[in-house]
Each structure stands twice: as C-alpha cells, then as structure tokens.
Amino acid sequence: MEETEPQITQQDLIEALREGDAVLARELLPQLHDADLAAAYEALRGEPAAALLTLLPEERLAGFITQLPLTDAEEILVALPDDRLAKVLDDIPDDILVDVIQEMPAEYRGHAFHLLSETRRKAARELLKFQDDSAGGRMTTAFASVRENMTIREAIEALRGIAEETEILSRIYVVDEEGLLLGKIRLRDLTFNRRSTHIAELNDHDTRAVLANSDQEKAVRMMMKYDMLALPVLDEDGRLLGVITHDDALDIQQEETTEDIELQSGISGENTDETYLNTTVFNQVRRRIGWIISLAFIGLISGTVMYSYQGQISGLFALTIYLPMIVASGGNTGGQAATMVVRAMSLGELDAGAILRVAWKELRVGLIMGGIVASAMILQIYFMKPANIQIPHQLLTGFAGTVGLALMIQITSSTLIGALLPLGARAIRLDPAVIASPAITTIVDATGLLIYLNLARAILPL
Amino acid sequence: MEETEPQITQQDLIEALREGDAVLARELLPQLHDADLAAAYEALRGEPAAALLTLLPEERLAGFITQLPLTDAEEILVALPDDRLAKVLDDIPDDILVDVIQEMPAEYRGHAFHLLSETRRKAARELLKFQDDSAGGRMTTAFASVRENMTIREAIEALRGIAEETEILSRIYVVDEEGLLLGKIRLRDLTFNRRSTHIAELNDHDTRAVLANSDQEKAVRMMMKYDMLALPVLDEDGRLLGVITHDDALDIQQEETTEDIELQSGISGENTDETYLNTTVFNQVRRRIGWIISLAFIGLISGTVMYSYQGQISGLFALTIYLPMIVASGGNTGGQAATMVVRAMSLGELDAGAILRVAWKELRVGLIMGGIVASAMILQIYFMKPANIQIPHQLLTGFAGTVGLALMIQITSSTLIGALLPLGARAIRLDPAVIASPAITTIVDATGLLIYLNLARAILPL
C-alpha cells in the first residue's frame, strides 16, 4: 500500500495544521481528495479545523461538505453568508442536500430552501417526502434516462448535457413518455453500436426496482443479490423517481450493521454518522443507560431467587462454587444462538416458516454442548474435589449429578431461548436485534439459578 | 415493491419444484435471474433441488453456479462430465473460478486446471498466489485498460473485443507499456469526445489503489471513503493486476461484519458463505464449543471467590439479593463499551494514539452510569426493604452503602475493561473482536464478586 498511495496523505495535512503551518497546508490541499480533507477535519476539530476551513478554496467547499458527517456539514453551512451558502447548496448532490437541510434548525430550513434554484427546490421537495431510511430517502434524482424511440445519436445528444452531472452514467434507464421504467441500456451499448441504432433494440427490459417507500435495507439486499451497480426507485405507478447507487449501498449496509450490533449490546437510539470519539459522553450515556437500568431491576429477580434458596445454599455452601459458572454458561450459549439467528435474519435467510427448523437445529446444538460441558465439569468435580472443597463423601455423586444435570438443562434451554426470542420479536413486529444479548443473559441468569437450586433441593438431602 | 417486481418470483419456482411440476418450473426459468435460481436451490435442497439442476439449460449453468455458495458450486461441478465441466469453468468469472477450484478435493484440482484454456489457466495461477482474504484474492483480472498514447478511436477498437467480457467498463485504466497504472478514464469520456482525442488528455492521473497482499477490509474502507466503483489492485512494482468491483465490496463488507459479530459472541472459525440453515449441527457445535468450555472453567474462579466469602454471605444472606444484579451490571456495561470500541475500530476510527481519549471518555460514561444505577438501587433498598427482607435495622445504611458503592466501582471498572481490552488485543496484534463479550462478562463476574463481597466485609460488621 504505502508505495502506491500518493505521497501526500491526510496525515501530512493534519500535522501541518496542528503545527499552524498554513503555507504548507495550502500547498497540500490540491493533492488531497475531498474525503481526505473531511477526515482531517474530523480528526482535528477546534482551532486547526477552523484553519482548514479558511484555507479551503471556494470551489472545493461543496465537495468537502458532502464528505462530512451531517452535524458538521450543517454547522458549517449555517455560518456561511447567503451568497456562498446558495452556491454550495446548489453544488452538493440532491440526496445529501436534503439530509443537510433536515439537520438545520427548523427556522433556518425555509431560508435555505429559498436560496435554492427552482429545479433544485422541486427535486428537494420531492425527496423530502420520503423517510430517511427508505429507498426514496436514500436515492438521488440525478440519473440518466432516454426514450425508447430515440436513436443512439439522439440519445448521446440528450445525455451530453448531463454527462458530468449525473452520479452514474453506466446505467441509462429507458422510460416511456409517462416516465414509466421500461428497462435499461449500458453506456457501452451506446459506445460500441452504430449511431443509427434505436434504443428499443438495446433495451434489456430489466425492470427490477424498489418502491420509494421500501426499507433501505431491502434495497441493499436486492443490489447484493443481483450485483447491481444502481437500483431504480419507483413511485406506486411505476414511474422512475431516482436511483440508489453502489456507494450508497455500502453506506446503508454499514449503517444497518452498526445499528444491529449496537441494538444487540443494549445500545439504543439512532447512530449518527459521527465517529465514536466525536460523540459526547452525555450522548453515550443516553443511548446506553436505558437497558442497563432496566436490566439491573430485572436482575433483582435472580437475586430474589437466590435469596429464597437460603436453605440449600447454607446447607451445602460448596454449591456456590459452580453457581456463577452454570448461570454464565446459559448467558454465553444463549448469546451465541441469538447472534447466529439475528445475523441470519438480517441477511434475509430466515422466513417465518423457519422457526421449527431453527428450534430443531438449536435443540441439538444445545444438547451436544450441554453434554460436553456437563461431562467436563463432572470429571472436574471427581478429580479436583477432595483437595479443598468441603463436600461430605456421601453427597459427592449427588453433587456431581446436580451440577451436570443443571448444566445440561441450562445450556439447552438457554440455547433455545436465545434462538427463539429474536424470531418471536419479529413475529410481533419488533426488530429482532432488540432482543439484546444482555437481555437474554439476564433472563437465563434467573432460569439458571432456578434450575440449579431446584435440582439441588430435589437431589441432595439438604 | 410487490407491484414493480416481475410477476414471477423465486417463490413460484420453489413451489413448482416442491410439487414436482417440471413443466411449470421449466416455463418459469427464463423469467428468473440466476441469483433467483440459486436462492431457490438453496431453499429447496434434496430431490427438488436436483430436479432444478436437470431442468437448467446448459448455457445457464455457469451463471447459476456463480451465484451459489462455494460448497454447493463445488459439489455440482465435480459431478459434471469433463466436457461440460470444461465449458462451465471457462464461463465463470476468474475470481470465483479460483475460489471454487480451491474448494475442490486436492486430487481433483489438477484435473480441473487441466481442463482450463491456456489463458484462463495462467490467470487462475496468478490469482491463486494470493490469500483468500487479501485484495489479490478478491480481485478479478477482467478489467479494461488502454495505453496513454492511443486515440479514442484506437481505444474503442481495442476495447470492442472485451466489451462484453469485462465485469465493468465504467472505469478504464490507463497504463504504460510495462503495465504500470497511470490513471483512469471513464467510458463517458470516450463517448462524449472527438474520436481523435488522445487518451493522455483524458487521463485523470488518479492512481489510488491497493497492493495485492493488502487486507480485503482495507480495500473496502478505501472504496467507501472515496466512493469508488472499482479499486485497482497492484503488484509491488505498481503494475495493475486486477480490480475489486463494487459488488465485491458489498460482499466483503458483509463477510467482515459477520465475522466481527460472531467473534464478539464467542463464535470462532471461518464463516462460510453457506446460509445458517444449511450448516450442520456438528459445524455449529465446533465453532461454538471452544469459548463455552473455556469460559466455563474460567467461571469456576468466580465460584471459588464466592465460596471463599462464606462468612459474609452466611452472615447476612440478604447480600445474595443484590449479588447477581451487581455482577451482571458489569457484564452489561462492559459489553456495551466493548461493542462501541470494536465497532469504531473496524470502521477505522481509532488509531493507536486514541487509547487515552477512549479511556477518558469511557471513565466518565462509566462513572455517570454507575452513579445512576447505584442511586436507583439505594432508593430501592430504602423503599422496598422492610417488607420481606431480613436486614437488621442498624445494618441498613451500611448495606445500602455497600450495594451502591459496589455498583459504582463495578460499572466503572467494567466499562473501562470492556473499552480497553479490545484496544489491548490490537496492540498485541490480535483481532479486537476476539475479546468477545462473553469473555468480558466472565472476567467482570469475578471482579464484581470480589468488589461486592470485599466491601461487605469492610463496611458491614459480619
């Protein structure tokens, strides 16, 4: 890598700005991509970041802002004088324009709208109709389209004007006079065929698309499945409204995964496009405290269970040696099962009918893992016991049996609970990932104590 | 969506095959994408899947196989007669060809190689040099390139032959006579300029690329940062070897995230491209038992800690009511912190110097969350207490103090442990995600018991 990257990196810019070397920084700018400038801005913050802003040539501002997290983009924009703001707003891609306007304070939005050109305003209004996380909310309206009855020569003329503007020209959509999607042609078809050829002859009649109000996740799954460079987005009547491009697909996939991962660890609320280090402590606490405090109170159930078995625990205090392990084995296996199932669901692998197959698979996995751990612990009890644990000799077999049986039942039931709860969540239309691992752990903490201490009561003469 | 998708879906095919209606199935085939056929094959398995194979027209076999998980692709291929195998091997993209050959039994690989055409064999040998998860292992060698001194007319002539073959023609790389990457042009530049223009005039001199032995994750991060449609892959001398395309980027991102998610739940080993339902129970157990059995033994440490505080627990058995909750609060907060940090690391947000900033942020998060949970529990103790818990009145303040202080210390220390362990893992060149949440939970189980029971010994007269 090192050898092939351009010699100048964002790190050089960061250092120049940190040292306050404006001359060097200004020299570096033309050699860096907008994405590098944005990354440097994010890493710097404060004074040196402000310096970067003042050094930035006018014509790069829009490109730079496009690469920033929305909160920072908005902050910079609202501080601009109207003439510069109007220019930047006109230069950033329409999908980002809409996001950034929504980020602005309500009273400022009308003002920003007012600064847009007529056509941009119309495009933005169109996009604002859709939810942030819908296909319509993610699409760009800057796509290329041609009519079926054009020749290649006419199509090239029609496209020439927008060649630089459209995000992607590799897919050119074929529409009828109403704007209904009829298929697509590829730019290569225009390049490598006689100029008198009609578009209709080249049309591939591929009308795979999503509706504008579909979930963005669905759009990405479709693009992945069919290896699509861009996905058309239609209104209810089949009219082509915009496209989701390959780079949006990567962004959406990353956002959705981050959301899943965070939900599963009991972290709630929106994940912004800010970096972890740039979030505030307050924001972190706000997103994390909810589950922690709820689970703490639910955790008192386990405590109450434990408290109510005073007789068994005091009667054979050696029971406590295996107690945390039995309880935790449930959390660990349940968490694994939940992870497998939630991931399979987010990859679209499990339909509603899969519940029995999942249960049957995880039942067997749980029984085998339970059997292995139980056997290991029974052996451990027999081999390690006499040294330093006070178990009356006549209780040893019962004790080992209690631990082994408790492990079997706890691991098998936890595996099933972990696998089935996310499926159950989906059945009642919750995001399966809200069945966070901490929640499963807290549930099987209580069941584990009940299983172990009830078995102790039944098997051992305490 | 429903309205815009072609009327025929993979579900129709699945049902036709399940009902053994070969006539209907054969009619549906031409209207379905190879990816749909592959999805149907995966969902069906067994008899009906075999029926699908026999119905599949010869010329679609390669496209169909390209869409299958490798294990299934390999299974089908080795069962083919040599002449059909040779044809299919020649028709599938070179990056998948190599993967599928590697999936074959060792003794069969030479045979498959022997069936390849001379040029394909050379390309495959070239690709086989690179690790599966390296940029070289993921690239395709089917890219378009032109020389700087060609005119557009010459370039179009040169490209005409490969127009259909290359995966992507939107990016055409400019190379010198040695194959060194000089930049790229876009197909639109060829289409919208005079045919006598020289390529050198259109070259954008963008040589951003990765080395073939770079990690595939690095390639995707670069493609995301710069919104690249395709990323050139170079050898150590800067020669262009291949490209990673946008659809590979989505696949890689998905694989890497699945790997991270699974590692963090204590699921080890390679994740194949098979669906969850199609994996065997044995395979699941093999990937999941390792951490479970290790953590079970480590969990005995917690048990031993608990056992050694018999005096305190027996002295005031009400301590057990808060014990599981205090212990679990550590696991929950530590898991959250680890999730935040591991995710930030996999998004490339945290460099080695970030450790102090992470520690400072998480210390404050931990203290605030600890303070909140501790206050809530102290209130709970005062309000709920008298009813059904046996705590001598003169011990109440000490008891509440013990629980509150233990929560503060446990939550703060667990948050720090969860945040710093993944950074530590990376420092010793381990994947941060191996610091699985279950491992953190098991560690802070023991520390939580030590904190709580030591405080009880120090504060309460037991």
Residue B135 resides in a domain: no
Dihedral over alpha carbons B61, B62, B64, B69 (to 10 degrees): 120
Contacts of B220 in chain A (CB under 8 A): 250
Whether B130 has its CB under 8 Å from any CB of chain A: the answer is no
Whether B388 has its CB under 8 Å from any CB of chain A: the answer is no
Q: Is B118 in the same domain as B185?
A: no
| Confidence tier at A163 by pLDDT (50, 70, 90) | low
Cα angle value B445/B448/B451 (rounded, 5°): 150
Residue A336 resides in a domain: yes
| Confidence tier at B166 by pLDDT (50, 70, 90) | low
Q: Is B301 in the same domain as B337?
A: yes
Instruction: List strands edge to edge, sheet with A230-234.
Output: A210-211, A230-234, A240-245
Contacts of B343 in chain A (CB under 8 A): 258, 261-262, 276
- E strand or H helix at A34: helix A34-44
Which amino acid belongs to residue B203? N
Nearest in space to A333 (alpha carbons), one of A419, A415, A444? A415
Whether A389 has its CB under 8 Å from any CB of chain B: the answer is yes
Distances, alpha carbon B265 to alpha carbons A34, A336, A444, B196, B441, in Å: 37, 5, 16, 60, 11
Q: Which of B97, B130, B163 is the last residue of a domain?
A: B130
B:58-87 residues touching chain A, CB 8 A cutoff: none
Distances, alpha carbon B421 to alpha carbons B330, B342, B413, B425, B427, in Å: 14, 10, 12, 6, 10
Q: Is B195 in the same domain as B251?
A: yes
Q: Which of A148-162, A245-259, A412-426 has the lowest mean pLDDT?
A: A148-162
Cα angle value B64/B65/B71 (rounded, 5°): 140
The more confident residue out of B5 and A164 is A164
Q: Is B256 in the same domain as B288?
A: no
pLDDT at A123 over 60: yes
pLDDT at A179 over 80: yes
**Helix B319-346 vs helix B396-427: angle between axes, to the nearest 10 degrees?**
20
pLDDT of residue B163: 59
- Answer whether B296 sits within 8 Å of A373, measured CB to CB: yes
Write the pLDDT tens digit of every residue in B101-149: 988 998 888 899 899 988 888 888 888 899 988 999 999 988 889 999 9
Residue A399 resides in a domain: yes
Contacts of A229 in chain B (CB under 8 A): 168, 170, 229, 246-247
pLDDT of residue A57: 92
pLDDT of residue B88: 92
Write the pLDDT tens digit of every residue in A270-314: 766 778 888 899 999 999 999 999 999 999 999 999 999 999 999
Query: Which residues is A361 bridged to in the sheet?
Result: none
Residue B138 resides in a domain: no
* Distance (Å) from the alpha carbon of A376 to chain B's nearest alpha carbon: 8
| Average pLDDT of the segment spanning A226-235 | 94
Write the pLDDT tens digit of every residue in A187-221: 888 888 888 999 999 999 999 999 999 999 999 99
Which of B171, B257, B271, B286 to probe the A interface (max A CBs under 10 A)?
B257
User: What backbone phi and psi angles, to 5 degrees, belong to B193?
Assistant: -125, 165
Contact B219, B244 (CB under 8 A): yes
Contacts of B275 in chain A (CB under 8 A): 344, 347, 349
Which domain CATH number covers B237? Answer: 3.10.580.10
Dihedral over alpha carbons B146, B150, B154, B155 (to 10 degrees): 30
| Confidence tier at A167 by pLDDT (50, 70, 90) | low
| Average pLDDT of the segment spanning A108-135 | 89
| Confidence tier at A37 by pLDDT (50, 70, 90) | very high
Q: Is A332 in the same domain as A225?
A: no
A:421-450 residues touching chain B, CB 8 A cutoff: 437-438, 441-442, 445, 449
User: What backbone phi and psi angles, to 5 degrees, belong to B181?
Assistant: -75, 125
Residue B269 resides in a domain: no
Q: Which of A98, A129, A160 is the last residue of a domain?
A: A129
| CA–CA separation, A424 and A443 (whole Å) | 15
Predicted TM-score (pTM) of the model is 0.87
Q: Is B101 in the same domain as B194?
A: no
* Distance (Å) from the alpha carbon of A435 to chain B's nearest alpha carbon: 13
Write the pLDDT tens digit of every residue in B312-371: 999 999 999 999 999 999 999 999 999 999 989 888 888 877 899 999 999 999 999 999
Q: Is A244 in the same domain as A295?
A: no
Q: Is A215 in the same domain as A332?
A: no
| Confidence tier at A30 by pLDDT (50, 70, 90) | very high
- Answer whether A296 sits within 8 Å of B163, measured CB to CB: no
pLDDT of residue A60: 93
Whether A251 has its CB under 8 Å from any CB of chain B: the answer is yes
| Confidence tier at B3 by pLDDT (50, 70, 90) | very low
Look at chain A and count its residues.
462
Q: Which residues contact A31 (CB under 8 A, 6 or more apart)?
A: A6, A8
| Confidence tier at B380 by pLDDT (50, 70, 90) | very high
Contacts of A266 in chain B (CB under 8 A): 332, 335-336
Instruction: List strands edge to edge, sheet with B181-186.
Output: B144-147, B171-175, B181-186
Nearest in space to A404 (alpha carbons), one of A457, A336, A452? A452
Nearest to B441 among A258, A331, A373 (CB): A331
Report the share of chain A in percent with pLDDT over 90.
Answer: 61
| Confidence tier at A3 by pLDDT (50, 70, 90) | very low
Q: Is B316 in the same domain as B175?
A: no
Q: Is B222 in the same domain as B291?
A: no
Whether A112 has its CB under 8 Å from any CB of chain B: the answer is no
Which domain CATH number covers A71? Answer: 1.25.60.10
Across chain A, how many H-helices and E-strands are there?
22, 6
Residue B36 resides in a domain: yes
Q: Which of B103, B130, B157 is the last residue of a domain?
A: B130
Whether B359 has its CB under 8 Å from any CB of chain A: the answer is no
Contact A438, A356 (CB under 8 A): no
| Average pLDDT of the segment spanning A38-66 | 92
pLDDT of residue B2: 39
pLDDT of residue B4: 45
Nearest in space to B242 (alpha carbons), one of B159, B167, B160, B154? B167
A:167-186 residues touching chain B, CB 8 A cutoff: 168-170, 181, 186
Radius of gyration of chain B (CA): 30
**DSSP H stretches of helix in A129-209:** 135-138, 152-160, 187-191, 199-202
Residue A4 resides in a domain: no
Mean pLDDT of chain A: 89
Write the pLDDT tens digit of every residue in A332-373: 999 999 999 998 988 888 887 789 999 999 999 999 999 999
pLDDT of residue A1: 38
Mean pLDDT of chain B: 89
Which domain CATH number covers B414? Answer: 1.10.357.20
Distances, alpha carbon A46 to alpha carbons A50, A72, A217, A283, A359, in Å: 6, 12, 36, 19, 54
| Confidence tier at B168 by pLDDT (50, 70, 90) | low
Which of the listed ranges A124-133, A284-293, A389-398, B411-420 does the model predict with the highest average pLDDT?
Answer: B411-420
Q: Which of A187-196, A385-394, B182-191, B333-342 has the lowest mean pLDDT?
A: A385-394
Q: Is B329 in the same domain as B393?
A: yes
The DSSP call for residue A179 is -
Classify residue A193 as left (phi > 0), alpha (psi -120 to 50) or beta: beta
The DSSP call for residue A198 is B
Range of the domain at A425: 280-459
What is the Cβ-side half-sphere exposure of residue A407, based on CA atoms within 13 angstroms?
28
pLDDT at B1 over 70: no
| Confidence tier at B260 by pLDDT (50, 70, 90) | confident
Residue B271 resides in a domain: no
Strand pairing category for B230-234 and B240-245: antiparallel
Number of domains in chain A: 3
Q: Is B286 in the same domain as B213?
A: no
Contacts of B372 in chain A (CB under 8 A): 285, 289, 293
